[in-house]
Chain A
Amino acid sequence: MSLLDVEHLRVEFPTRHGVLVAVDDVSFSIDEGEVLGVVGESGAGKSITGLAIIGLLERPGRIARGTIRFEAQKINGLPKEAMRRIRGAKIGAIFQDPLTSLNPLYTIGRQLVETITTHNDLTLSQARGRAIDLLNEVGISAADRRIDSYPHEFSGGMRQRVVVALALCANPRLIIADEPTTALDVSIQAQIIALLKRLCRDHRTAIILITHDMGVIAEMADRVAVMYAGRFTEIGPLRDVIKSPKHPYTVGLMNSIPIISHEIEELPHINGSMPRLHEIPPGCAFNPRCSRAVERCRVERPDFMPTGNPGQMASCWVFDKEIGNDGNGR
């Protein structure tokens, strides 16, 4: 049984230009303890997917269709209070900027204790003890003194560790990490990634790792999903997606990552750019930029199809069994 099951999720934003579809018919599942990377350009809809799962879509956004099941229970459309109890305790989230994620007017101890006591029935001193344990676990030294410091007294990397500690207060089974390392220095990034990996292993916490940085995905993820214009274009085990990408967009992405040992004259790139939400072409969203597009691609939108590799799916007509062509001539 999967921990999280997302089926045909569709998130819409009604605007005066019409209804914008930010997430269009996305389906996937995650098992306990698994790290799923969701990679894509800015504006592809990755963050919105994460927000939809945890129920924090900002208005006027709303889930128009689809089901989100957590531990076999449907959680989209739950009443506010029920959803609140799931947040933090079952599903947690961490966001990009650790400085703005922490309330500057309260000590981190106060923020930790508050979160702990919201979900657990502990006395204040018990909660404080647990907070210190958490701080130790995320690698903050002298935790019993630092617990009474304010957020602005920490450096960026330390702050993000505090954020991770806060997210882990009630031991959630799933954490949605939205660009957790983007705002950090490269050297700190590696440390935070290592931290997340260790905690995920120790607590058997599943992570949805949302980022545009392939490098981070390569370090952490078990599986990868590639998102484009609100849709998943490919999903599969990490090695397979990176080493043998199937969807033309993924191919383009992997090709455009320069390899430091190879000499190249010109940086390869994919012509054109991802369409804005109100300009998504009919059929496959990638078709105007795709070198392998056929007439069908411009008309009919492809669903996920098996590609021959176990567990690796791509939404591309090239892999359609009817055509009988999976791109490798088989």
Chain B
Amino acid sequence: MIFYAISRVLQSFAVMLVTAFVCFILFNYVGDPINNMVGQETTIQDREALRERLGLNDPTAVQFLRFLRNAAQGDFGISYRLQRPVKDVIPERLPATMELVFASAVLALALGIPFGIYTGLNRDTWLSRAILTGSLAGVSLPTFVIGILLIYLFSVTLGLLPSFGRGETVQVIGWWTSGLLTVSGWKSIILPSITLCLFQLTLILRIVRAEMLEVLMTDYIKFARARGLTDRAINFGHALKNTLVPVITVTGLQVGSLIAFSIITETVFQWPGMGFLFIQAVHFADIPIMVAYLVMVALFFVIINLIVDLLYFVVDPRLRMDRVETAGQG
């Protein structure tokens, strides 16, 4: 078990390294950093001088190491658009995204899993059919459409909830500002988190349901019925556990992808988070921000993957290879 954990951690490091390298290559060698940084009027000599000063004429390996060293300290250079160090900009925007992602993850899991279980166990009730039809909407509607519709309903027509911004925030620890401690903060996070969670909720629902249906058709469930176990014991003792175990990985990864979809939600609601920052960076070809964002997202993904893998190991006894398989005499 320990070996497995260590090897997974090392794997994660490797992935991060590769990601960093890819980011580095793409954004230092695609297009010309100097041209992106200076105005039209700068002379060739000044550009050359700048290139030299920034070490852009050094061999690739040296530049990459420098990049890694800086990245490890959170230093991604200076934003072209904002003219401020990326290191300062990120902490301003990170808490907003993290809180939004957290709220959406909680919603997606707290609703998706129970709905999936219910529709798996009760295939024919009208509630099941209603949920499934609703889930079709969740998959068909792009996130930004949901956001716009919610804004139209709750902000424009009913005037109940704000349509942009984070509300009032409170400085909690160090640079972390939280919107979850104020009333206006709560009101502001409702619509965006519903928008963000809907797609994942539907996916989780469908995955849990599909797995539940498959589990209910297995031989061990049939045998459990043949032994006269109660429906309750079968559904919630056996079927549930066997459904949730394979589903952990997928739901974990789904939650991870929330951070990618937050780009859209933040844009619709003008939520001052990392995603909104990233889109603006793409518009303005602000490479340092783009690189920083991609590296951070990769880190987030890798950590989630790691946690999910280790969780899987804990939950499924078949994977615990340190228990010697006793091959008894038949």
Residues of A within 8 A of B (CB): 54, 56, 84-89, 92-95, 97, 100-106, 114-115, 118-119, 140-141, 146, 149-150, 152-158, 163, 166-167, 169-170, 184-185, 187-188, 191
Q: Which chain A residues border B327 with CB–CB below 8 Å?
A: 155
Additional 16 contacts, C-beta under 8 A, given A105-B242, A155-B327, A188-B330? A92-B227, A95-B226, A101-B222, A101-B223, A103-B224, A115-B227, A115-B228, A115-B229, A118-B227, A118-B228, A141-B328, A146-B328, A150-B318, A152-B325, A155-B329, A163-B223
Interface status of B245 (Cβ within 8 A of chain A): yes
Total number of B residues with any Cβ neighbor in A under 8 Å: 29
CB within 8 Å for A170 and B228 given contacts A95-B223, A100-B220, A101-B219:
yes
Pairwise interchain contact B223-A166, C-beta atoms closer than 8 A: yes
Q: Which chain B residues border A103 with CB–CB below 8 Å?
A: 220, 224, 238, 242
Top 8 closest A-B pairs, CB basis?
A157-B330, A88-B228, A87-B228, A93-B226, A100-B219, A88-B227, A188-B330, A101-B223
Interface residues of B in 192-243 (CB under 8 A from A): 218-220, 222-231, 233, 237-238, 241-242
Q: Could you mark each residue 165-208 of chain B with 1 if its beta carbon is under 8 Å from any beta carbon of chain A, else 0?
A: 00000000000000000000000000000000000000000000
Pairwise interchain contact A169-B330, C-beta atoms closer than 8 A: no
Partner of B233, one of A114, A156, A157: A114
Q: A95 to B226, alpha carbons, bound, how many Å?
A: 10
Nearest CB in chain A: distance from B1 CB, A: 15
Q: A312 to B225, alpha carbons, bound, how many Å?
A: 35
Q: A103 to B224, alpha carbons, bound, how many Å?
A: 9
Q: Which chain A residues border B233 with CB–CB below 8 Å?
A: 114, 118
Pairwise interchain contact B229-A54, C-beta atoms closer than 8 A: no
Pairwise interchain contact B227-A158, C-beta atoms closer than 8 A: no
Nearest to B242 among chain A residues (CB) is A105
Q: Which chain A residues border B227 with CB–CB below 8 Å?
A: 87-88, 92, 115, 118, 166-167, 169-170
Q: A55 to B220, alpha carbons, bound, how many Å?
A: 16
Q: A92 to B316, alpha carbons, bound, how many Å?
A: 29
A-B contacts, 24 of them at CB < 8 A, read A56-B225, A85-B228, A88-B229, A92-B226, A95-B219, A95-B223, A100-B218, A102-B223, A103-B238, A104-B318, A105-B241, A106-B238, A114-B229, A114-B233, A115-B229, A141-B328, A146-B328, A150-B317, A152-B325, A155-B329, A155-B330, A167-B226, A167-B227, A170-B227
Q: Which chain A residues border B316 with CB–CB below 8 Å?
A: 105
Pairwise interchain contact A84-B230, C-beta atoms closer than 8 A: yes
Q: A140 to B219, alpha carbons, bound, how many Å?
A: 23
Q: A268 to B238, alpha carbons, bound, how many Å?
A: 48
Nearest to B238 among chain A residues (CB) is A103
Q: Which chain B residues border A187 with CB–CB below 8 Å?
A: 330
Nearest to B245 among chain A residues (CB) is A105
Nearest CB in chain B: distance from A162 CB, A: 11
Q: A188 to B329, alpha carbons, bound, how many Å?
A: 10
Q: Which chain A residues border B237 with CB–CB below 8 Å?
A: 114
Q: Which chain B residues border A158 with CB–CB below 8 Å?
A: 328-330
Interface residues of B in 219-276 (CB under 8 A from A): 219-220, 222-231, 233, 237-238, 241-242, 245
Interface status of B326 (Cβ within 8 A of chain A): yes
Nearest CB in chain B: distance from A207 CB, A: 14
CB within 8 Å for A101 and B325 given contacts A84-B228, A118-B229, A191-B330:
no
Q: A8 to B328, alpha carbons, bound, how many Å?
A: 45
Nearest to B223 among chain A residues (CB) is A101
Interface status of B53 (Cβ within 8 A of chain A): no
Nearest to A107 among chain B residues (CB) is B317
Nearest to B320 among chain A residues (CB) is A150
Q: Which chain A residues border B225 with CB–CB below 8 Å?
A: 56, 87
Nearest to A150 among chain B residues (CB) is B317
